[in-house]
Amino acid sequence: MSTSTSPASAARKEVTSFEGSLIGPEDADYEEARKVYNAMIDKRPALIARCATADDVAKAVSFARDHDLLLAVRGGGHNGAGLGTCDDGVVTDLSLLKNIAVDPEARTVRVGGGCTWGEVDAATNEHGLATPSGIISTTGVGGLTLGGGLGNLTRTCGLTIDNLLEAELVLANGERVRASADENSDLFWAIRGGGGNFGVVTSFLFRLHDVDTIIGGPTFWPVEAAADVLSAYREFLPNAPRELNAFFAFNTVPPAPPFPEEIHMRKICGTVSCYVGSEEDAAKALAPFLEALPEPLLPGTAPMPFPALQSAFDGVYPPGDQWYWRADFVKEIPDEAVEIHARFGAEMPTWKSGMHLYPIDGAAHEPGPSDTAWSYRDANWGSVMVGVDPDPANADVLRQWAVDYFDALHPHSAGGAYVNMMMDEGQERVRASYRDNYDRLAQIKSTYDPENVFRVNQNIEPKA
Ligand SMILES: Cc1cc2nc3c(=O)[nH]c(=O)nc-3n(C[C@H](O)[C@H](O)[C@H](O)COP(=O)(O)OP(=O)(O)OC[C@H]3O[C@@H](n4cnc5c(N)ncnc54)[C@H](O)[C@@H]3O)c2cc1C
């Protein structure tokens, strides 16, 4: 079927009993509705179907398919490459799917496909519980989970997908199905790392852990000490107890309280940690790292509610900045890599730019490389170098720094990258990121989405 009128007008006529809203370019709320987190992405969909129910999602998917329109699915809209939107097609916007139901006895939480992690953390923290997610509270549950989920609890509780028990999906043909270890288990395997390739997840069920007050926060040294700090970190962390999560970071001290004015805008390096346990045990766990280094410039670990750590960076990174990033999986950090990091860390182009090394060991190493679609269970870190700034005039500078940094380090990487931290980098890079799991993913794609309706993502092409 093709449309002679605009997709938005056609949808208003054809899509009956839609409980959410259908937004087209002529509508007053279109400009706001089309925005995604990364302001470098400036796309103009023909229709934004803001869905209020799973039935709405099925209708939006069927409308796009029947009219041969490109279909994007927007969870939290955080994707760096802008994969939650598209030009001229239909955006299935899940931002109204916000239901959250905690079951403290079963220690699970059921979450609507359009929630952000901050919303989930707030609800589960009321019961002293949490499930692992990322490091920033405004990130969407949908995209982060389907790509894997790396963050402040990875070493202790595993990836986010390791805590996914069940998902409800709308498939490319509009059918609604459940995926779990017992139901559509092939689909359940694929969505744990395979991104949004297989359907729209309208609801997730996660396992919860006893995580309430954690001992966390930053410990930073001047960037000039980067080689020593990173060398100490790479030796220390793999031997640290699993209760300790600590990602390595290059950042800049924000020019605002609570940071002392005399260190505002200083380039720094160090860790952001999250210890699940007592203050005394946290101090013991961090001791070998701290004893190997001089006094830090910014010693910041303290007891805090888990959601406080998860939202600690929110103020620095509001929606609407320019973002460009590159990523890799990392097994080892040899001396040559330490030297490259130290060089590029000292040259961060803007104060919001940075580099993070997220640990992927501990509990995340328990599943084998083919137990879920996420293949890099042998990687020890995921690196991401990210250029960020509010000013669009700096877009090229951000991109160039991230690409140069990435190119210099890539020979020391494990080959592929975490799909959630990739830009549009081509099919070979997607394959490299799934390695031996790619063929099985392509097979499952051909069962559930043979026409590749869900292709605005790090795409797995259906097997011919
Ligand atoms: C500031 C910032 C911090 C981040 N921190 C972390 C971090 O700590 N750890 C980490 O692992 N990642 C992190 N990320 C990366 C993040 O996981 C990805 O950007 C992810 O794609 C965001 O998910 P989203 O739902 O917000 O994105 P969207 O842009 O809405 O969607 C991204 C992709 O996921 C698909 N998708 C989203 N929801 C659904 C759904 N319900 N069903 C089917 N497909 C869906 C979309 O189609 C699209 O392909 C961060 C990103 C940013 C910008």
DSSP for 439-450?
HHHHHHHHHH-T
Kindly calculate the radius of gyration of the chain based on its CA atoms and give it in whole angstroms. Answer: 22
For ligand 1, say whether the CB of 132 is within 6 Å of any of its atoms.
no
**Residue nearest atom 6 in ligand 1 by C-alpha distance:** 134
Alpha carbon of 218 to ligand 1 centroid (Å): 24
Q: Which of 38, 57, 71, 73 to mutate to test the pocket of ligand 1 (most atoms within 8 A of CB)?
A: 73
Q: Whose CA is nearest to atom 16 of ligand 1?
A: 144
Which pLDDT score, from 0 to 100, does residue 5 have? 86
Residue 4: what pLDDT?
66
| Residue 222 near residue 268, CB atoms below 8 Å | yes
Distances (CA, A) of 37 to 24, 71, 95, 118, 390: 20, 19, 13, 15, 12
Measured in angstroms, how far is the CA atom of residue 195 from the centroid of ligand 1? 9
| 76 ligand 1 Cβ < 6 A | yes
Q: Is 77 in the pocket of ligand 1 (CB under 6 A)?
A: yes
- Cα gap 59→18, rounded to integer Å: 8
Reported as type and span, the H/E element at residue 93 is strand 90-93
Task: Output the CA angle 119-123-129, nearest 5 degrees.
Answer: 120
Distance 116 CA to ligand 1 centre (A): 10
Taking the centre of ligand 1 as the mean of its atom positions, its distance from the CA of residue 284, in whole angstroms, is: 35
Answer whether 0.85 is exceeded by the pTM: yes
> Residue of the nearest CA to atom 17 in ligand 1?
144
Per DSSP, 451 falls in state: T
Show the tokens assigned to 434: 């799934």
Given the CA of residue 150, which atom of ligand 1 is nearest to it? Answer: 11
Closest residue CA from atom 47 of ligand 1:
73
455 SS3 class: coil
Centre of ligand 1 from the C-alpha of residue 280, in Å: 35
Atom of ligand 1 nearest to the CA of 458: 49
User: For a pocket test of ligand 1, which of 144, 170, 323 has the largest count of ligand atoms closer than 8 A to its C-beta?
Assistant: 144
| Residue of minimum CA distance from atom 3 in ligand 1 | 136
Q: Measure Cα distances from 95 to 23, 57, 351 in Å.
A: 13, 11, 30
| Contact call for residues 332 and 423 (beta carbons, < 8 A) | no
Q: What is d(CA 371, CA 154) in angstroms, rounded to the nearest whole number? A: 17
CA of 140 to the centre of ligand 1 (A): 5
Ligand 1, pocket-test mutation among 34, 35, 74, 79, most atoms within 8 A of CB: 79
**CB 217 near ligand 1, within 6 Å:** no
Calculate the alpha carbon distances from 239 to 155, 158, 276, 360 in Å: 11, 17, 16, 13
Question: Is the distance from the beta carbon of residue 359 to the nearest atom of ligand 1 less than 6 Å?
Answer: no
Contact 125, 307 (CB under 8 A): yes
CA–CA dist 66, 293 (Å, integer): 62
* Residue 149 near residue 143, CB atoms below 8 Å: no
Å from CA of 82 to ligand 1 middle: 9
Mutate to test the pocket of ligand 1, among 48, 91, 139 (most ligand atoms within 8 A of CB): 139
> Tokens in use for 220?
């930073």
Minimal-distance CA residue to ligand 1 atom 28:
77
8 Å CB contact between 358 and 252: no
Q: Whose CA is nearest to atom 23 of ligand 1?
A: 143
138 Cβ inside 6 Å of ligand 1: no
Q: Ligand 1 centre from 296 Cα, in Å?
A: 33
Residue ranges, the chain, pLDDT below 50: 1-3
Rounded to the nearest 5°, which phi and psi values hold at 426? 95, 165
134 pocket-lining for ligand 1 (C-beta < 6 Å): yes
Which amino acid residue places its CA nearest to atom 50 of ligand 1? 139
Q: Is the separation of the CB atoms in 32 and 25 below 8 Å?
A: no
